[in-house]
Chains A and B, each alone.
Chain A
Amino acid sequence: MVDLSTTIGSLSLANPVMPASGTFSDELAQVIDLDRIGACVIKTITREFRAGNPTPRVAETGGGMLNSIGIPSKGLGDFLDRIVPVYRRIQAPLIASVSANTTADFAALCRDVSVDGVEAIEVNISCPNLEADGHAFAMRPDLTEEVITEIRKATTLPIWAKLTPNTGDIAGVARAAEAGGADAVVVANTILGMSIDLTTFRPSLGSGMGGFSGPAVKPILLRMAYQCSRAVSIPVIGCGGISTASDALEYIVAGCSAIQVGTATFVHPTAMITVLEGLEAFCRERGLARLMDIRGAVGAVGETAGDLPAQPVPAEAV
């Protein structure tokens, strides 16, 4: 039996595969067994009701998608009354995801979602759709440290800071999150992008710009996850373009303690299970008793790679 388990601070997970916020809900239980995944990271909630953005809310691109869903949320009451009880029946721990527009509101919302049944809080300080012109807390280290510091005072649950790739200093932002008291960083949210419909000369998305995700973004987000894992000592959770076990393995070798599958689930709702089974197959093929033994095994530029675990694997095994 291969040991796929991982730890994110004080939280132990049976395996490192979890959904990216916004690409998952309990409706997926119609297709896969949710008890098999490592954690359930649910769609971001806000305190108040939010209708979300105008349609079209998504556009497909070469190898990915743009979205400006706009965080439709039924609010805190629905989360506490309806969502938390649903996930009590699922083995995988429930990770709340929250967003707010000010530091004080962020802290207060984190306090209020810290209820029995919630195992950690992913704080979405990165969503590019919320703030004017795509700005977000996690674009700047000082704002990140300030908001995480206040959230840290408001809850005893583990805090996962979800970072944005729309910053020039991802490692600096990750260090700021660590300094503020985050238990992990999630690297990262979507890249701000746009596309234009040439029949109408209007943006393809109803709100103009949106978040770019999918297989096409993986090299950029993998690089950022790698930089963050070198910059901080708290766990890094990789997120960005992961569709296959190979993609997930790259993030783990880059230093990630867990990975999130997002856009891939929209195309293949079984994607998380496929990734999970592929990770297990990889470990068997390579004789790895523990998947996390290869976490951070990437050789730095100029270093010797050292003893690689066993021999190269045929591509089809992964």
Chain B
Amino acid sequence: MTLMPTQPEIPNASDRQFAVAERECAVISNDAVNAEYRMLVLSAPPVFTAAQPGQFFHLLCPRGGGEAPFFRRPMSVYRVDPDKGEVAFLYKVTGAGTESMAALRPGDGFNILGPLGIGFDLPDGIRHVLLLARGVGLATLAPLAQVVAARPDVRATAIFSARKPEFLMSVDYMAAHGVDVVGVTDSEGTSAVDRVESLMRDLLAGGNGVPPVDAIYTCGSNRLMRLAQKLAAERGIFGQVAMEQQMACGLGMCFCCVRDFNVGGDIVHRRVCCEGPVFDLQEAVSW
């Protein structure tokens, strides 16, 4: 048997453009934004900066102190900047995956897969959207600010809920995109559901030249989702919720991430990764 020339001539993947890619990205920055949350900014190719609000990436978390987490971790995209070629994630260290992410330094490589899932929909004719989020749910709704800013006919108000005022993130970012932000917090006693309901009822009524809220987007709180469902149903307005679930593949192959949804009275399973993570507000089932 003769040894052939060692010049590898592996055919390149076809020129076909894939909507989803797996790539190693360079870390630009990875800094704390407050005592609990950090923001990771990556250098990203166009396939990644094409991510739409509500879509997510599947992150291959590096080896931390112990063994590397075996699966990727899904995380909604916080911000994309196609001009600078950047994607950003806002996250809280809660387990082995995010702990190892927190150790990433500028220049490190980080393998991500995406963009994945179905993002938010802003139907034509909507005049005033309400963003309703708690905790890290803010990160998922934040990219809607860019969408709203590009639509001068759409007004946006955000009610963001957190344990303490210092954990209310993105307020400046949202304000810069023309979103009126109302912060409510546990420590100030303003975040109870009945208080939020009162705020929402005022916004749903409109007045003083402000059109009534006619679309609600929510993420990050079961209680706020139920409140949004109730008020949106009363008014018969459009609503969407971004859901979470443990995932393995992130693409729809494994059927790990199913949740129950109420579709016309029938409880059906849907895969959060590819049939969501953004779902119709009224079809979502409390968790």
Contact = CB atoms under 8 A, between A and B. Distances in A.
B20 A273 contact: no
Interface string B245-284: 1101101111110110000000001000010000000000
B59 to A, nearest CB: 11
B72 interface: yes
Given A55-B245, A284-B4, A65 B71 contact: yes
B253 A310 contact: no
A22 interface: yes
B278 to A, nearest CB: 17
The dominant DSSP class at the B interface is loop
Nearest to A72: B255
B132 to A, nearest CB: 26
Contacts of B269: 51-52, 72
A31 B1 contact: no
B3 interface: yes
Contacts of B6: 284-285
Interface in B169-198: none
Interface residues of B, number: 37
Nearest to A276: B10
A281 B70 contact: no
B234 interface: no
Contacts of B208: none
A288 interface: yes
Contacts of B124: none
Nearest to A285: B6
B254 A67 contact: yes
B13 interface: yes
Interface in A33-79: 33, 43, 51-52, 55-58, 60-65, 67, 69, 72
B251 A30 contact: yes
Interface string A247-279: 000000000000000000111111001000100
A92 to B, nearest CB: 14
A207 B269 CA distance: 17
A11 interface: no
A104 interface: no
B248 A269 contact: no
A58 B249 CA distance: 11
B110 to A, nearest CB: 14
A60 B253 contact: no
A23 B253 contact: yes
A104 B254 CA distance: 28
A22 B4 contact: no
Contact of A62 (B67, B249, B274): B67
Contacts of A67: 248, 254, 256
A309 interface: yes
A142 B60 CA distance: 44
Nearest to A273: B13
Which of B20, B60, B67, B249: most chain A Cβ within 10 A?
B249
B10 A281 contact: yes
Contacts of B70: 60-65, 214, 267
Contacts of B2: 287
Given A265-B253, A288-B1, A277 B20 contact: no
A52 B249 contact: no
A281 B8 contact: yes
B113 interface: yes
B1 A57 contact: no
A280 B249 contact: no
A285 B245 CA distance: 44
A51 B258 CA distance: 10
Given A52-B269, A55-B245, A30 B253 contact: no
21 contacts: A23-B254, A30-B18, A31-B20, A32-B13, A43-B253, A52-B255, A52-B269, A55-B256, A57-B256, A58-B254, A65-B70, A69-B254, A72-B269, A265-B253, A267-B72, A269-B22, A269-B249, A281-B8, A281-B10, A309-B1, A310-B1
Interface of A: 22-25, 27-28, 30-33, 43, 51-52, 55-58, 60-65, 67, 69, 72, 214, 265-270, 273, 277, 280-281, 284-288, 309-311
Given A57-B256, A62-B70, 5 more contacts: A24-B253, A28-B253, A43-B253, A63-B67, A67-B248
